[in-house]
Amino acid sequence: MEEKETIETEKNKNTEKTKSNAKSNIAKAASLMVFAILLSRCLGLIREMIIANQFGQGGAVSAYTAAFNLPDLLYFFLSSGALSSAFIPVFTEYFHNGKQKEAWQIFSIIGSLMGLVLFAIVIFAEIYCKPLVVAFAVPGFAAKNPDLVPLTILLTRIILPCQVCFFMGGLMMGTLEARQNFKAAAASPVIYNLGIIFGALVIGKWTGITGLACGTLIGAFAGNIVYTFYLLKKEGFEYHFSLNLKHEGVIKVGLLALPVIFGLSLPQIDVIINKWFASWISEAAPAALNYANRVMQVPLGIFAQAAGTAILPTLSALWANKALGEMRGAISYGVRTVMIENIPSTIFMMVMADPIIRTIYMSNKFTSGDVPVTTIALIFYSLGIFAWAGQAIVARGFFAMQDTITPIVVGTISTCIFVPLNLIFMRFLGHGGLALATTLAVIIHYSILTYLLRKKLGGINGGEILKSVSKTLLAAVVMGVVCIGVRYGCYKTLGTYELQPGDIKKPNELALNIMEKGVADPFYLYLSDDTKIDAKRYAKYLSDEEEITDMIVENINDTLKSGTLGSDIIRSRKAVDKVFYTSLRSNSSVPSWISAIILGKDKAAEMVSEATKDGTYSSKDIIDISGLITDIMEGNSDVAGAIRAFFDEKERGKIDVFLTNFEDMQDLPKNLQKDLNEAIDDKDFKGANGSPKFVRDTLCGLYPDLVSQRPFLRVESKFGSFLTVLIGLFICLGVYFGMLKFLKSEEIDDVAASIMRKFGRKKKAE
């Protein structure tokens, strides 16, 4: 009896304490995490900068990005959803009601069961990695860039065990968060990023892109298992292997988590779906989307993630103690806070997208020509920052009430809308359309969730939210106008009219056109001897290409007909397709009807071989003549050797000349750009003291289809872009906060008071 009264007394104390400190707990926890998350996001950007610098934005980085698809599916369905939506609220309820031993029993049972299940699934995925990767990660690569599939499979095999680390670490973090200890949640991503950076800088020196995957595994184990377990031991830790699935708390977690496992919630799998579709667009598209998404995640990680992580235990405690009024106020405060932080982030990131990408990524292998592709994705992603931030708060309101069904149903509906949006927009906007589809879907998702939560709680102080958001939006729009002004000023003062990589659409053709016009073209006099020689080589290459192609096709077909590779031509052709899949058009391993749905009938038909009546090759089946010749002449396979045997000495001589011309003209784009930039910087161009703008306009006027006009508001250099972002950030922050003070925003006063209290405590402690 006394024990029961003691538990009841403790419960009442917890109730009163929770009611009086709900708002304070959210602010304190968010303040504690924001600096650690800021460090994590900064390290994440440094990580991406290192990856971009060392590996660029090509197929290898896309393969590394796509290698997360299959592991992430396991994590989202078996770990992330169950933990965030079910385990923490149930564990919190038991812990706050004085049932600590039972809370640890729930932890032990779930850890034992899900650990075994996840371990078995990881082993299964390792065994059947190839078909799973082709189906769930890179079907587009399998159809369009099959050379990237083996690399994606290798990287996936290395990354798969990370999911066991994420699950066990997440379970341990959940118990810490339930007691308002957020050290592991804040530090684990930092350690994880350090692991990837170590893999890129150290392991990657010997293993290339594989080093990134190895670093990912090291970071996942160190951050999620080693460090989290260390903290948990200090807080008090109980674990006993058990599979007692009849425990009431475990059943409760299972029922709450079940919708997550079978649901297709948008916040969980939008990135996976994006990468799945991106693999159909180009080999660079997945990498570009990943780079842009990482930048977009910075404000979300600093503001929304901190607030969302902090608010869930508080909301769970309020719901457990039936403090509905305080819960409505806490959700309203959380939404207003993330909006006042993320709406201006949305506008700033959209306006400053180009200089931000140049500042962060442009160096070494990530050239100026790679910037526009990533910039487009960032603009469309950034449009949805406010919605991602808002749903992070609203969804946790449902999770705190132990209602996982509603968010998952809404998420599934949003995902069902999201998938066709990807399909539609990618046809018109390419990879940018995939980012736009994500934004539209999350806005729909956030709107529906907010409406349903408002109905369930009988309101969430919507008037206060509307008033706060109106002031925030007005201040952010004014800030955006000023931000455009900053970009224009930097464009005029820091920009240049020099050509950047990608500005010349077809450098070989441009050089040839200038050479053909000779002195009649004002730019001819600026061409270096190397450029002129390479242009002549390109002319020779073009004149020989048709003859060489016909000769190669004829010899391959003679090999098929000879019976050297087998008596059946169709089977022999499959053997050739398998060896030269990067250079010859063959039937894809992806069903043709899927290719037709994703790409459209015309584009899908271009990928499929147009076999002749007898099953042999035609010249249209050659994708890369230079690559095919190199593979045949230097390959060690029996197929390459059999084809080589059909070349006579005269043909080998022609091939040598053809390949020599091809290899020697590889520096033509770089040399031509250098030559033309000398013309642009020459004040005496045409003897008329021409300005850089005049010279650039003259070049674009002569060759409008080959040279791009200088993009409006572009500051080309990395340092100039950095100054643009820095100047814009300081001026825009001043304008934004000044406007909010002028509009008398209460949330800004709260933020300022919180900062003053924090610095006041530090000063007092000193």
d(CA 421, CA 603): 19
Q: 753: pLDDT confidence band, cut at 50, 70 and 90?
A: low
How high is the pLDDT of residue 274?
87
* Six token digits for residue 133: 């990767």
For 501-530, write each residue's pLDDT tens digit. 889 989 999 999 999 998 889 899 999 999
For 578-635, write each residue's pLDDT tens digit. 888 778 876 666 666 677 777 776 666 666 655 555 678 888 888 888 888 888 888 8
Q: Is the pLDDT of residue 18 over 80?
A: no
Give φ, ψ of 504 to 5 degrees. -90, 115
How high is the pLDDT of residue 752?
57
Q: Which helix (H) or strand (E) holds 202?
A: none
d(CA 692, CA 378): 30
d(CA 548, CA 746): 74
Q: Using an 8 Å Cβ cutoff, are 354 and 721 in contact?
A: yes
Quickly list H helices, 56-161: 59-66, 69-75, 81-82, 88-96, 100-127, 129-136, 139-144, 149-159
Q: How many residues does the chain have?
A: 766
pLDDT, average across residues 235-243: 78
Q: Of 310 and 737, which is predicted with more confidence?
A: 737
Q: Using an 8 Å Cβ cutoff, are 176 and 235 in contact?
A: yes
The region of weakest confidence among 384-398, 433-447, 597-611, 695-709 is 597-611
For 102-118, write each residue's pLDDT tens digit. 888 888 888 888 888 88
For 109-164, write each residue's pLDDT tens digit. 888 888 888 889 899 999 999 888 988 888 888 777 787 888 999 999 999 999 88
* Six token digits for residue 668: 């033509």
Most confident of 174-188, 219-233, 362-376, 721-735: 721-735
Q: 261: pLDDT confidence band, cut at 50, 70 and 90?
A: low
Q: Is the pLDDT of residue 320 over 70?
A: yes
For 275-289, write each residue's pLDDT tens digit. 888 988 888 899 999
The region of weakest confidence among 108-117, 301-310, 558-567 is 301-310
Q: What is the 3-state secondary structure (H, E, C) of 406-450?
A: HHHHHHHHHHHHHHHHHHHHHHHHCHHHHHHHHHHHHHHHHHHHH
Q: Using an 8 Å Cβ cutoff, are 51 and 61 in contact?
A: yes
How high is the pLDDT of residue 686?
72
Q: Is the pLDDT of residue 2 over 50?
A: no
Residue with tokens 């007692």: 244
Q: Of 760 and 508, which is predicted with more confidence?
A: 508
Domain parsing of the chain, residue ranges: 59-264, 284-497+716-766, 503-709
Q: From the CA atom positions of the chain, what is the Rg in Å?
A: 30
Q: 7: pLDDT confidence band, cut at 50, 70 and 90?
A: very low
Classify the C-alpha dihedral 69-71-77-83 as positive or negative.
Answer: negative
How high is the pLDDT of residue 199?
92
The region of weakest confidence among 16-20, 252-256, 406-410, 627-631 is 16-20
Q: Of 720 and 177, which is predicted with more confidence?
A: 720
Q: What's the gap between Cα 95 and its chain centre?
A: 37
Percent of the chain whose predicted confidence (pLDDT) is above 70: 85
How high is the pLDDT of residue 35?
67
Percent of the chain whose predicted confidence (pLDDT) is above 90: 26
d(CA 308, CA 533): 62
Q: Is the pLDDT of residue 737 over 60?
A: yes
How high is the pLDDT of residue 197?
93
Q: What is the mean pLDDT of the chain?
A: 82
How high is the pLDDT of residue 113?
84
DSSP structure string for 222-285: IIIIIHHHHHHHHH---------TT-HHHHHHHHHHHHHHH---HHHHHHHHHHHHHTTT-SSH
d(CA 529, CA 516): 15
In this prediction the pTM is: 0.82
How high is the pLDDT of residue 111?
83
Q: Using an 8 Å Cβ cutoff, are 382 and 351 in contact?
A: no
- 597 three-class SS: helix
